[in-house]
Amino acid sequence: MEKVKIEKNTVQETLIIPLYGRKMCAEKFPELYTDVFAERLCERLDYDFSELEKKKKSFIYQFGALEAAMRQLDIMWEIKNYLAKHPKATVVNLGCGLDETGKACDNGTCSIVNIDFPDVISIREKLISAYDRETNIACDLNDYSWMDKVDGSNGVIFFAAGVFHYFKTEEVKSLALELSKRFPGGCLVFDSVRKLALKLMMAAVIKNMGMSDVEGYFYVNNPAKDLNWSKKIKVTSKGYMLGYYDMKSPGIHFMHRLLARIGDKGMKMYINRMDFV
């Protein structure tokens, strides 16, 4: 099968880093995390992985990969929990990139929808074959026309992994409120961090874009307070490093677990679930 070339310093390259992190995490911590999709995708890419290969023994890089893996495991837990009650629901990946969480949670009866910018969907469709019950939508998430294409009649769960950090708070709030109006009985699952953590995560972005701060961008210091947007939205939150799994697996250093605790408690790294009532 012909490989798909990914050029350096392109938007498409930004899709590679989390993909490779999931592949590496599955190789290093197989009892905690598996991701056959990430491995297959990396094999399909014509890309120089040498710089990422150099980092794979780095303690901090390993923790970053663990962070991405734990976030995905947590979101999968929430999706499977929802599908247990709504087996024919639609699972919607907001800002999907090259992520295949929908397939990983497929119960044989649900529908899967992946949404991202047109250039991202374009490369996704070159690399990933869609299931019969799977649809890709090329659209800006802030253009709500994509919602018209989502069937919520049998239930619907929306999720966003590592996406809302790049949105303004008002954009996330507006999106959540619109979803709650259109899809009662559905839910939205997403990760968040406190302002200090967002500053650290966005440091390079701030520099490259000439921004002075992350002011206005989406962060959550206190979920119960900061996400209290509507009486029709019920919010629950858990730490995303240790809130769902204890990370007591072979190969995971005690310092990784210490950083995980600091991440959950100090950096307020949460998985938030909004149920639309």
| 232 domain residue, yes or no | yes
Q: How crowded is the C-beta side of 112, counted as CA atoms within 13 Å? A: 22
Q: Which of 226, 224, 235, 228 is nearest to 277 (CA)?
A: 235
Residue 118: give the domain boundaries. 59-276
Arithmetic mean of pLDDT, 140-158: 98
| 20 domain residue, yes or no | no
DSSP string for 211-246: -S--TTB---S-HHHHT---TTEEEEEEETTTSS--
What span, in angstroms and rounded, lies between the C-alpha atoms of 80 and 247? 20
Confidence of residue 155 (pLDDT cuts 50, 70, 90): very high
Q: Which of 119, 115, 88 is nearest to 99 (CA)?
A: 115
Quote the pLDDT of residue 212.
58
| 54 domain residue, yes or no | no
CA 258 to chain CA centroid, nearest Å:
23
Query: What CATH number is given to the structural domain containing 67?
Result: 3.40.50.150
Quote the pLDDT of residue 11.
72
| 51 domain residue, yes or no | no
| 271 domain residue, yes or no | yes
| 29 domain residue, yes or no | no
Quote the pLDDT of residue 206.
53
| 64 domain residue, yes or no | yes
Arithmetic mean of pLDDT, 230-243: 96
Arithmetic mean of pLDDT, 158-166: 94
* Number of structural domains in the chain: 1
| 253 domain residue, yes or no | yes
* Tokens 């809302």 found at: 164
What span, in angstroms and rounded, lies between the C-alpha atoms of 276 and 232? 6
pLDDT tens readout for residues 177-204: 999 999 999 999 999 999 888 888 776 5
